[in-house]
Amino acid sequence: MKILYHEKITVSSVFNTIVSERKMFMKLIAAVSAEWGIGKDNKLLFSIPADMKFFRETTKGHTVIMGRKTLESFPGGNPLKNRNNIVFSKTLKPFAGITVVRSLDELMHIPEASDNDAFVIGGESIYRLLLPYIDIALITKVNASTPADSFLPDFDGLADWYLAGKSDEIIDNGYSFTFCTYRRLADSERNNIRKD
């Protein structure tokens, strides 16, 4: 399957400023419904093998940051293989294969969370908590309306964010979807927009 991305080149340098000024610089990865739903009853909304493959290949070898409920939604409640699993929880006892963090402050003291290859993988509470530290969001937009009880913010309506790239439409397991890349505007970009 060939996936084509069409990135805006004009804003490719916007992150240098942000990286130098912030303690953390992360990416977000998620799959959303037409209403930006991400889950229901602590389960994903869709089973899309091509999207799971994209998730595996994109996050393999990297740090993944999640909430306790998302960890528990994995088969057997086990961490993801071949990744450095960091789990937010105030209640979970640490066990092999995961690093538990009790607060945002604790996360900030973990060096692996500060490199630019850490992925925030959900769920809703952790996406919202870490949004200020995320500069790139890889969002699989599924063209389907499904009841949900967990949501991602609507990136099309977020100030300071823009759609930087989008794949062609893909069909898999009966679902139609696109891989979208959203990026945060740099301070310099925001200033330019306000002046215009």
Ligand X SMILES: NC(=O)c1ccc[n+]([C@@H]2O[C@H](COP(=O)([O-])OP(=O)(O)OC[C@H]3O[C@@H](n4cnc5c(N)ncnc54)[C@H](OP(=O)(O)O)[C@@H]3O)[C@@H](O)[C@H]2O)c1
Residue numbers at the binding site for ligand X (CB under 6 A): 30-31, 38-39, 42-44, 66-70, 73, 88-92, 102-104, 121-126, 129, 150
Residues counted in the chain: 196
Least Å from the CB of residue 158 to ligand X: 17
Q: Is 14 or 71 the residue whose CB approaches ligand X more closely?
A: 71
Q: What are the residues facing 118 on neighbouring strands?
A: 26, 63
Least Å from the CB of residue 155 to ligand X: 13
Least Å from the CB of residue 21 to ligand X: 23
Q: Is 131 or 185 the residue whose CB approaches ligand X more closely?
A: 131
Q: Is 181 or 185 the residue whose CB approaches ligand X more closely?
A: 181
Q: Is 39 or 189 the residue whose CB approaches ligand X more closely?
A: 39
Residue 115 CB contacts under 8 Å (≥ 6 apart), including other chains:
25, 63
Least Å from the CB of residue 145 to ligand X: 15
Task: Return the beta strands (E) in 41-195 as ranges.
Answer: 43-44, 63-67, 84-88, 98-101, 118-120, 134-142, 150-151, 161-166, 170-172, 175-184
- Please report the DSSP string for 85-106 in residue order: EEEE-SSPPP-TTEEEESSHHH
Q: Is 31 or 80 the residue whose CB approaches ligand X more closely?
A: 31
Distances in Å between the Cα of 120 and the Cα atoms of 79, 147, 148, 191 are 14, 23, 20, 28
Grouping H, G, I as helix, E, B as strand and the rest as coil, residue 51 is helix
Least Å from the CB of residue 192 to ligand X: 32
Least Å from the CB of residue 51 to ligand X: 9
In terms of C-beta density within 10 A (0-12 exposed, 13-18 middle, 19 or more buried), how is residue 25 classed? buried
| φ and ψ of 131, to 5 deg | -50, -40
Q: Is 14 or 66 the residue whose CB approaches ligand X more closely?
A: 66
